[in-house]
Structure formats: structure tokens, C-alpha cells
Chain A
Amino acid sequence: MDDFKIIDIHAHYGSLPWTPFKRSGLEGMIGVLDEFDYERCIVSSIEAIVYDIHNGNRETMEAVKADSRLRGYVTINANYVEESKAIVEEYVTEHGFVGVKIHPDSSHQPVDSPNTLEILGAVDKLKVPILVHTYGNGGVADPTHALNVVEHYPDLTVILGHMGGDNWRGGIEVATKGDSIYVDPCSCTQPHSDKIKEAKRRIGTERILFGTDLPLLNPAWALGMIESADITPREREMILYDNAKQIWKSI
């Protein structure tokens, strides 16, 4: 595994003040990038997800400027439509952020809510991917909500973060509905050791991406999933790096 280049498409920037953990913030992040020899790591703001989109995105921008391996997702909050649209415009066009992060469990709005769809209109025009937190069956983060997004914006690249989590079969099923839908299988739920194998069987290796949920989760976990999966070295290379390069060619 040490020979493969890595692009982590699902990481976060900031501290985790509601946990006892210490290895977060910029210093912690850089330590992890070094330890795991990341080429690129695309981060969204923890603070923007759970609290303040203004301060959180701003801090993330500063972090991205501080280390050339970092890239940014701009995080929106669907309860603040106009502000989110403005933030998306600003961070993508002026600060070079490469995608948009949406967390339905934090905003309590599914990714196909009227508010979110309105914001996604602005995202679609900028032609950057969205990374959507998907988890569970029947709630606001149910991966099936992504189907309405694809219906409204067929050219928008949609990444199902966590691949639906404990509803990972549902996440894969959603991904079978459109070539613009990708999956990121990171999450620690068990007993689910067939996730990657099943995703490969249903949608092909080309649409599986490597994410970790860093710094909440240890990248060692997600790397172990790739190591454990019954896939070829070439397929590992695709998941860890090449598939992301297909989405972000100049990242």
C-alpha cells in the first residue's frame, strides 16, 4: 500500500472540541498528511458543518493556503440559502475551492430539500462536485435523496460520503442509477466487510473513491478496508488516486 499515491476526498479541517481527541487542527492535519504520505487531501470545515459556515469556511481557506497538499470543499448550510449561495460563489471562484460539502444530518435538511436544490443551482453552474454525507435509511441523510439531485442537475457530480453508512447497500443502489454518482465507503460500521467488493460488482471500480473522515477517524482504518478488499493492485490505485484525478483533473 505504501507505493500508492493517495487523494483523500473526504476529510475535515478543524478541531473536534466535543471529543477528548487532540490530533486535530492544522498541526495535527499536517502530521497525518506526512505520516500517510498523502498527495492531496480535500477538506471541509468541521465548524461550518456543525455551527458557523462563515468562520468555518474562512479557517479552512487559511489552512488550505498553509499546505499545498490541502484542497477545500466549501461547506453550505441549507437553512441559509442566500448566504450559502454567496459563499459557494466566493470560495470556488475566488479561493479555488474544488467542491461543496453538504451535511444533511447537521442542517436537518435532505440534499433534495427545496433550499438545498436552490443552492445546488448555483453549484451546478460552477461545475464542481458535491460531497454529501449519507447515512442510514429513511432519515434526512438517506442516500436515496441524491436521486432527486441527479434528476434536477444531471451534469452535477455527486459523491455519496460514507456510501450510506449502515445503509451502504442502499448507497450502492442509488449509485447504480447514474454515472455521475460516486461512492466513498469510509465509515467504521460493522459487520460490513463486503462493502467495497459489492460496490465494485454493482457500479464498477471507476466510481469508488477513497475517503477517510479524517480527523474524526484514523486513515489507517479506511486504508485497511482497501487492503482487505478482494481487488487487484490496479483497482487499489484507481480507488486511492486515479478515480479522484478523473473528477478533479487539475487538482
Chain B
Amino acid sequence: MWPLERRDISLAKLKGEMNKFGVDRAITLSAKGIFYDHILGNNETNEVCSGDPRFIPALTVDPRRFIGYDEEIERRKLEGFKILRLFPEYQGFTIRGSHVKRIAAKAMERNLPLMICAQEGIAIILELLREFRKLRAILVGMGYSEVAELLIAMEEHDNLYVETSLLDSLDGIGMIVEKFGAERLIFGSGAPLGYVGSSLNIVRRAPISEAQKGAILAGNIMGLVGGG
């Protein structure tokens, strides 16, 4: 269920979108873990992903709950979860919080990339990365107005990756590839809430090589999560 408005985020809908656009695999998680209970949500994610190799599980932890976060991350890592996703945009916590820092430290220790939006600005993400230099972070939801700051942030931190779903300016993807190569761009769509066709188009029509497109669409993320 997507509680913010009436939307179909069922597994069937997600599979339908993947089939329609030829998406082979998807990193996914349960919305229950975002809005209600991260343990129940992670259970649901595990159930779905362990039954279908097309899905790569992402775990989430709600920093506002905090207690037991380390056991939860340990458990999910053993179950095969590949990425930690935090949701400040829905849960309202600050990335500067000491609870988030503990969680980030644990993710770094367990070699889990952290996927997060820059709700409070890219500068705050950089603060986190300066403290946890080996943490690999994937910024989601970066749009055209953030590209200038991204170029600086990516220069400062080799462990900063960018998800492409909203890099929809004419030059956004091309400029990043020109400066840093394609290795730190990761394809995302937000499916089934977002338009998969749009997200795919901006990569496929970017002024970059086919090999670079392939890296963005699949190779880079598979490298990050250890082959899935």
C-alpha cells in the first residue's frame, strides 16, 4: 500500500513494468518498512526477493526506532540483503543525527552501500561521507538543479554514486560522465511509482557510449552489490 495517495505498488504491477520495459532485475523493498515497521517490511522484502531472483533486496532501518538497528542490519546482511536504504524524506529525521551516524557506521562495517536522498542538501551528505570515508553512498532523486553541486561532491568523494532517475536535463548525465566516467551513475526508476520509460530514455539517449550506458543501466550496480 502507498499511503500518501491511492497508487498501485503491488508486486504484480512492478513485474508488469519490468516486463514492459525489459528490466531484468530490480533492487526493491517493502513500503511497510518505510511507513510503519522496518522489521515487518524487511521480512516482506525478504519473502519476495528470496522467491524471485529478479529482485535484489534492500533493507531499511528507521532511525527513529534505533533500538536493535545493529542486530537488524546483521540479520539482513546474512539473509542476503545488498543495500541499506534510509528514508529521511518520509520519516523526517535529520541525517546529522547521531542515530544516523551509528547506522552509517554499521553499514560501512558490513559493506552495505547506503542509498539515500539529499533531503537536507548534498552538503549534509558530504558531512556524513567525510566522517565515514569508506561508506559507499548512492544519492537518489537528484535533479537538474543539483548537478553543479553534484559535480563538486563527486570530485571530493570517490565513494559517492548518483542514481539517475531524475537527471533529466539535456546535459546532466553527459556532464557527469565527461568529468568522472560512467562508473558512478546508477540507473533507477522509482517503479512502479515513477515512469520507467522516462528514466530509461534519459540514459539511452544520453550523449555517451553504448558501453557507458550499459554500465549505468546494469554493470555499476552489480559491481556495487557484489554480483547480486
The reply to whether B175 and A190 form a contact with Cβ atoms under 8 Å apart is no
The stretch among A65-73, A109-117, A144-152, A210-218 that forms the contact with chain B is A210-218
- Within 8 Å by CB of A227, from B143, B147, B197, lies B197
Q: Chain A contact residues: over half helix, strand or loop, or mixed?
A: loop
- A225→B166 contact, CB < 8 A: no
- The contact sample of 9 A-B pairs, CB cut-off 8 A, is A20-B171, A21-B170, A190-B195, A193-B195, A221-B202, A222-B198, A224-B201, A224-B202, A228-B197
Indicate whether B204 reaches chain A with its CB closer than 8 angstroms. Answer: yes
Please report which residues of chain A, range 16-50, place their CB below 8 angstroms from some CB of chain B when the two chains form the complex: 19-24, 28, 32, 35
Q: Which residue of A lies closest to B191 (CB)?
A: A193
Chain A contacts for B172, CB-based, 8 A: 21, 218
- List A residues 203-236 near B (Cβ within 8 Å): 214-218, 220-228
Q: How far is the CA of A20 from the CA of B174 in the complex (A)?
A: 12
A190, B194: Cβ atoms closer than 8 Å: yes
Chain B residues, CB < 8 A from A217: 144, 168-170
Contact present for A221 and B7 (CB under 8 Å) = no
Say whether A23 contacts B7, CB under 8 Å.
Answer: no
Tell which of A21, A194, A222 touches B171, judged by Cβ atoms closer than 8 Å.
A21
Interface residues on A, range: 20 to 34
Number of interface residues of B (CB under 8 A): 34
Inter-chain contacts of A193 with B (CB < 8 A): 190-196
Q: Are A19 and B169 in contact (CB under 8 A)?
A: yes
* Residue B46 lies at the interface, judged by CB distance under 8 Å to chain A: no
Report the tally of A-B residue pairs with Cβ distances under 8 A. 104
Of the candidates A214, A216, A218, which one forms a contact with B205 in the assembled complex, judged by CB atoms under 8 Å apart?
A218
Q: Which B positions have Cβ atoms within 8 angstroms of A?
A: 2, 7, 20-21, 141, 143-145, 147-148, 151, 165-166, 168-172, 175, 190-202, 204-205
Q: A81: CB under 8 A from chain B?
A: no
Question: Which residues of the other chain, B, contact A20 by a CB distance below 8 angstroms?
Answer: 147-148, 151, 171, 175
> Which A residues are in CB contact (< 8 Å) with B194?
190-193
Known: A192-B194, A218-B201, A220-B198; 11 extra A-B contacts, CB below 8 A, are A21-B147, A23-B170, A188-B166, A188-B168, A190-B166, A190-B193, A193-B194, A216-B144, A220-B202, A223-B201, A228-B198
**B171–A225 touching, CB < 8 Å:** no
User: What is the CA–CA distance of A23 and B194 in the complex, to the nearest angstrom?
Assistant: 26
By a CB distance below 8 angstroms, the chain A residues around B175 are 20-22
